[in-house]
């Protein structure tokens, strides 16, 4: 369990002081999720600075948000401002470097997911957090809201003993093309580490974080590197919005998987089927299935249903299907309220000493699944937990 560091508690005592916030990365997620959520915190925060190595991104974001200072060099921002909290909103492969720099500057860190792609790197980041006496959490916003309710149901025994889960987000054609998601150099991996990381996190959170035993998986790149037609057509990527300007996308640069499929085993005997695609010749599908010996639960995340969560159980001698009315779940994936809930929760953690809903052991377990998944795909065999980077000399 990640204890609240001593210096963060000082902020709690001075509850009236606004959190001095800085952001690294002025792209899509900073403009559409982090900044709007921070703005809603009003005087509890000060938007002190934002850094991005694209001056046009800084100029653009300044039009929408009252950020005091902008920097093209994140290190200069960290040196010149005594920040309490830094949000890391850059491409995946910079997360470790910027997180460590922000922690060393004396700030707590909310780092976009995934924290890193190996357990060894993630542990190094936490060691730095410990040295600095600061909090580091991954922005696992999908566990907020509906999945917290699902977790409560499971803890209350509604499903009985959970022994099987399925997590899937199948996009038939949906490569995110506004940033650098499609290159290994920037993102590390494709849909598994971009979208899958959320579902792995939220599902494991809901079922009580059983420890990983092994993963057997495959990653494929069959469609997205063939032509421009596989890019994301989600409306969110067009028009005059806070996250512009987008960059050119060239499918020739595509170097990550477009489909990831695998099975993970956990210490409590639970099995998890994992399927994530940005380009696959199957219909769109997006859900969690969590199955216990009393009932099963299906959460159809992007189906646009009024009641996306259904329980499949038994009443006396009859099978019963129950739709759950969880208002917070009645929104599509792109309109997720998760960032707002998480960012406001983090303010409560830092300012009011609330217990953090995202624990270190959970974050490490998620990265373990991802590392084992990619290694299994690469070596074409099952990978056991003890083969991962943190267990190697
Ligand atoms: N939690 C979620 O639901 C969610 C959703 C989308 C993206 N993300 C994550 O957020 C991160 C950013 O994604 P995005 O969609 O905002 O991408 P983006 O490309 O739109 O934004 C990233 C920004 O970082 C800047 N940047 C990159 N390298 C830099 C460097 N060395 N120095 C300074 N600035 C640098 C880029 O110029 C860009 O403006 C990724 O890790 C992604 O996985 C999370």
Q: SS3 letters for 6-68?
A: HHHHHHHHCCCCCEEEEEECCCHHHHHHHHHHHHCCHHHEEEEEEECCCHHHHHHHHHHCCCC
How far, in Å, from the CA of 27 to the mean position of ligand 1? 6
Give 9's pLDDT tier (boundaries 50, 70, 90). Answer: very low
Measured at the alpha carbon of residue 26, what is the angle toward residues 20 and 31, in degrees to the nearest 5? Answer: 85
d(C-alpha 345, C-alpha 279), whole Å: 34
Provide φ and ψ at 165, rounded to 5°: -140, 150
Determine the average pLDDT of the residues in 177-202.
94
58 vs 12 pLDDT, higher one: 58
If we measure between CA atoms, which residue out of 176, 194, 321 comes closest to residue 249?
Answer: 176
Question: If you take atom 37 of ligand 1, which residue's CA is the nearest one?
Answer: 54
Asked whether the beta carbons of 106 and 11 are under 8 A apart, the reply is no
Question: If you take atom 7 of ligand 1, which residue's CA is the nearest one?
Answer: 29
To test the ligand 1 pocket, which listed residue (23, 27, 176, 358) has its Cβ within 8 A of the most ligand atoms?
27
Identify the pLDDT of residue 241.
Answer: 58
Determine the average pLDDT of the residues in 169-198.
92
Residues 6+ apart with CB under 8 A from 161: 292, 293, 294
Question: If you take atom 15 of ligand 1, which residue's CA is the nearest one?
Answer: 28
To test the ligand 1 pocket, which listed residue (89, 237, 247, 286) has its Cβ within 8 A of the most ligand atoms?
89
How far, in Å, from the CA of 106 to the mean position of ligand 1? 22
Identify the pLDDT of residue 392.
Answer: 87
Residues 6+ apart with CB under 8 A from 271: 163, 164, 165, 263, 264, 265
Determine the average pLDDT of the residues in 128-153.
95
- The predicted model scores a pTM of 0.94
How far, in Å, from the CA of 28 to the mean position of ligand 1? 7
* Helices assigned H by DSSP within 223-322: none
How far, in Å, from the CA of 45 to the mean position of ligand 1? 22
Domains of the chain, earliest start first: 6-141+339-355 (3.40.50.720), 145-335+366-387 (3.30.360.10)
Asked whether the beta carbons of 288 and 165 are under 8 A apart, the reply is yes
Instruction: Calculate helix-pair angle for 119-132, 360-379, nearest 10 degrees.
Output: 160
Condensed to tens digits (0 to 9), the pLDDT of residues 211-239 reads 999 999 999 999 999 877 677 655 444 45
Identify the pLDDT of residue 302.
Answer: 79
Please give the structure tokens belonging to residue 325: 């009315």
Question: If you take atom 27 of ligand 1, which residue's CA is the nearest one?
Answer: 90
Q: How much is the CA Rg of the chain, to the nearest whole Å?
A: 21
Average pLDDT along the chain: 90
To test the ligand 1 pocket, which listed residue (22, 24, 28) has its Cβ within 8 A of the most ligand atoms?
28
Identify the pLDDT of residue 12.
Answer: 46
If we measure between CA atoms, which residue out of 141, 91, 120 comes closest to residue 336?
Answer: 141
Beta bridge partners of 51: 24, 71
How far, in Å, from the CA of 84 to the mean position of ligand 1? 21
Asked whether the beta carbons of 34 and 7 are under 8 A apart, the reply is no
d(C-alpha 11, C-alpha 375), whole Å: 41
Question: If you take atom 4 of ligand 1, which residue's CA is the nearest one?
Answer: 29
Residues in the ligand 1 pocket, defined by CB under 6 Å: 25-30, 51-54, 57, 74, 89-92, 94, 112-113, 139, 141, 178-180, 194, 243
Beta bridge partners of 117: none
Question: If you take atom 6 of ligand 1, which residue's CA is the nearest one?
Answer: 29
């Amino acid at each position: 369990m990640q204890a609240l560091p001593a210096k963060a508690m000082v902020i709690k005592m001075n509850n009236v002081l606004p959190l001095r916030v800085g952001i690294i990365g002025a792209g899509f997620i900073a403009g559409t999720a982090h900044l709007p959520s921070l703005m809603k915190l009003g005087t509890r925060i000060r938007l002190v600075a934002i850094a991005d190595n694209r001056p046009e991104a800084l100029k653009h974001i300044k039009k929408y948000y009252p950020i005091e200072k902008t920097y093209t060099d994140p290190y200069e921002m960290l040196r010149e401002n005594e920040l309490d909290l830094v949000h890391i909103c850059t491409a995946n492969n910079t997360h470790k470097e910027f997180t460590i720099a922000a922690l060393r500057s004396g700030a707590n860190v909310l780092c976009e997911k995934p924290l890193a792609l190996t357990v060894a790197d993630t542990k190094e980041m936490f060691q730095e957090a410990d040295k600095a006496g600061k909090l580091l959490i991954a922005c696992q916003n999908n566990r907020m809201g509906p999945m917290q309710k699902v977790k409560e149901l499971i803890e209350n025994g509604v499903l009985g003993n959970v022994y099987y889960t399925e997590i899937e987000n199948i996009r038939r054609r949906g490569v995110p093309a506004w940033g650098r998601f499609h290159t290994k150099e920037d993102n590390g991996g494709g849909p598994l580490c971009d979208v899958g990381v959320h579902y792995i996190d939220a599902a494991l959170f809901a079922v009580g974080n059983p420890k990983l035993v092994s993963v057997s998986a495959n990653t494929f790149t069959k469609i997205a590197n063939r032509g421009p037609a596989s890019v994301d057509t989600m409306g969110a990527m067009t028009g005059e919005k806070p996250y512009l300007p987008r960059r050119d996308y060239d499918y020739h640069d595509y170097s990550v998987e477009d489909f990831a499929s695998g099975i993970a085993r956990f210490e409590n005997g639970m099995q998890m089927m994992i399927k994530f695609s940005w380009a696959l010749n199957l219909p769109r599908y997006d859900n969690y299935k969590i199955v216990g010996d009393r009932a099963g639960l299906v959460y159809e995340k992007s189906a646009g249903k009024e009641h996306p969560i259904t329980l499949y159980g038994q009443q006396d001698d009859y099978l019963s299907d129950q739709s759950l009315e969880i208002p917070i779940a009645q929104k599509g994936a792109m309109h997720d309220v998760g960032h707002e809930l998480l960012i406001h929760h983090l303010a409560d953690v830092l300012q009011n000493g609330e217990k953090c809903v995202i624990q270190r052991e959970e974050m490490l377990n998620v990265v373990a699944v991802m590392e084992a998944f990619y290694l299994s795909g690469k070596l074409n065999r099952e990978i056991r937990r003890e083969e991962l980077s943190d267990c190697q000399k």
